[in-house]
């Protein structure tokens, strides 16, 4: 299935979910006299938290890390004409989009399809719930923009491709940062919705730090390897041209070219051997924390 068809299917699914949710809400109005009873509200908010956490603290980090650490992994392996890292990157992002759509619908059902974030002219000071709603809706909106923007990206050889690359990366990092803030607010301020709120807060901090470290190291490895290789190659070429008739210069140039080859070998080892290993360690770490974290979401205290 192409990306464009998947986006269309996703939008149709989104519409169907909204219609079904509103239908369910009307049924509950007739049978129970309220839009959402306490039990339904508890579970809607619980699964809203699970879906949003899974999206932004598991799937999106894996998508970003795959672009950092797996670009040079198994270059000859191209299922459906695409590299492994791209399959993982796209699949994780699209799953995150789908889960966040469902999660947002759940929280809107609980709040009767009303906006609970900051409003213009509102005399109240911003509360934790308001900030959570504001940062959260911006984060998911930016996340939803990613696959839409990817539909219109130009070919890799096009001059404007770099602008897509930078905008795609910037929007992705901004979306994840805002989502991390949103999750921090929830784990710090929404104590009744966790069976062990301090542990949930600490785990969210640990995951955020792991993600930041993984992203920074990935960027450093990517740009540093390219810069070192380019600088060595440029130096070798310059010396070879400037002293073409000098025997000594030729020897120096030969040494420089040997250094370039060594750098290439080192970079190749780094790409093939260590980067996938870093990715696996990172993936296992956040997955284990994810399992522990989702067991902490939901508490009988939320019924009080």
For the cut 80, the answer to whether the pLDDT of residue 140 exceeds it is: yes
Q: Which tokens go with 216?
A: 């920074």
**Between these two residues, 1 and 224, which has the higher pLDDT value?**
224
For the cut 70, the answer to whether the pLDDT of residue 224 exceeds it is: no
Compute the distance between CA of residue 291 and CA of residue 304 in angstroms, rounded to an integer. 26
Identify the DSSP state of 303.
Answer: G
Task: HSE, CB side, 13 Å, CA atoms: give it for residue 133.
Answer: 17
What is residue 244's predicted lDDT score, i.e. its pLDDT? 44
Q: How far is CA 96 from the centre of its chain?
A: 8
Q: What are residue 194's DSSP bridge partners?
A: 297
Residue 110 contacts residue 44 (beta carbons within 8 Å): yes
Compute the distance between CA of residue 40 and CA of residue 112 in angstroms, rounded to an integer. 13
Sign of CA dihedral 190, 194, 195, 198: negative
For the cut 50, the answer to whether the pLDDT of residue 81 exceeds it is: yes
**pLDDT tens digits for 279-300?**
999 999 999 999 999 988 876 5
Residue 74 contacts residue 84 (beta carbons within 8 Å): yes
Compute the distance between CA of residue 221 and CA of residue 229 in angstroms, rounded to an integer. 12
194 in helix, strand or coil?
strand
Work out the mean pLDDT of the chain and round it to a whole number.
77
- Of all residues in the chain, the percent with pLDDT exceeding 90 is 36
Residue 297 backbone dihedrals phi, psi, to 5 degrees: -85, 130
Residue 49 contacts residue 41 (beta carbons within 8 Å): no
Residue 53 contacts residue 194 (beta carbons within 8 Å): no
**Between these two residues, 219 and 264, which has the higher pLDDT value?**
219
How many Å is the Cα radius of gyration of the chain? 25
What is residue 245's predicted lDDT score, i.e. its pLDDT? 43
For the cut 60, the answer to whether the pLDDT of residue 230 exceeds it is: no
CATH of the domain at 285: 1.20.120.1770
Contacts of 283 (CB under 8 A, 6+ apart): 62, 65
For the cut 90, the answer to whether the pLDDT of residue 158 exceeds it is: no
Nearest to 95 by CA among 132, 66, 62: 62
For residue 229, name the pLDDT band (cuts at 50, 70, 90).
very low
Nearest to 229 by CA among 253, 203, 256, 206: 256
Q: Which tokens go with 150?
A: 């990817």
206 in helix, strand or coil?
helix
Question: What number of residues does the chain have?
Answer: 304
Domain range for 31:
3-303
What is residue 304's predicted lDDT score, i.e. its pLDDT? 42
What is residue 58's predicted lDDT score, i.e. its pLDDT? 95
For the cut 50, the answer to whether the pLDDT of residue 228 exceeds it is: no
Q: How far is CA 80 from the centre of its chain?
A: 24
Q: How many domains does the chain have?
A: 1
For the cut 60, the answer to whether the pLDDT of residue 278 exceeds it is: yes
């Amino acid at each position: 299935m192409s990306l464009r068809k998947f986006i269309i299917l996703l939008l149709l699914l989104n519409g169907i979910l909204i219609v079904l949710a509103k239908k369910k809400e009307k049924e509950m109005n007739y049978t129970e006299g309220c839009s959402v009873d306490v039990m339904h509200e508890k579970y809607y908010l619980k699964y809203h938290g699970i879906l949003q956490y899974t999206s932004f603290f598991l799937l999106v980090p894996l998508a970003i890390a795959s672009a950092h650490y797996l670009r040079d992994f198994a270059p000859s392996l191209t299922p459906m004409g695409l590299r492994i890292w791209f399959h993982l990157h796209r699949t994780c992002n699209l799953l995150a989009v789908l889960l966040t759509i469902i999660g947002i619908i759940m929280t809107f059902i609980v709040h009767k399809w009303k906006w609970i974030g900051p409003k213009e002219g509102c005399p109240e000071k911003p509360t934790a719930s308001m900030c959570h709603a504001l940062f959260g809706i911006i984060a998911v909106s930016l996340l939803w923009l990613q696959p839409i923007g990817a539909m219109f990206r130009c070919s890799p050889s096009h001059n404007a491709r770099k602008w897509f690359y930078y905008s795609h990366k910037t929007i992705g990092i901004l979306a994840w940062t805002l989502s991390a803030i949103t999750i921090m607010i929830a784990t710090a301020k929404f104590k009744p919705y966790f069976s062990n709120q301090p542990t949930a807060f600490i785990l969210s901090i640990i995951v955020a730090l792991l993600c930041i470290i993984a992203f920074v190291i990935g960027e450093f490895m990517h740009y540093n390897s390219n810069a070192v290789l380019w600088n060595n190659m440029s130096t070798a070429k310059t010396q070879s041209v400037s002293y073409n008739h000098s025997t000594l210069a030729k020897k120096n140039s030969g040494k420089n070219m040997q250094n370039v080859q060594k750098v290439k070998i080192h970079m190749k080892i780094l790409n093939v051997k260590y980067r996938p290993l870093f990715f696996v360690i990172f993936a296992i770490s956040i997955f284990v924390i994810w399992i522990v974290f989702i067991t902490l979401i939901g508490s009988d205290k939320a019924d009080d």
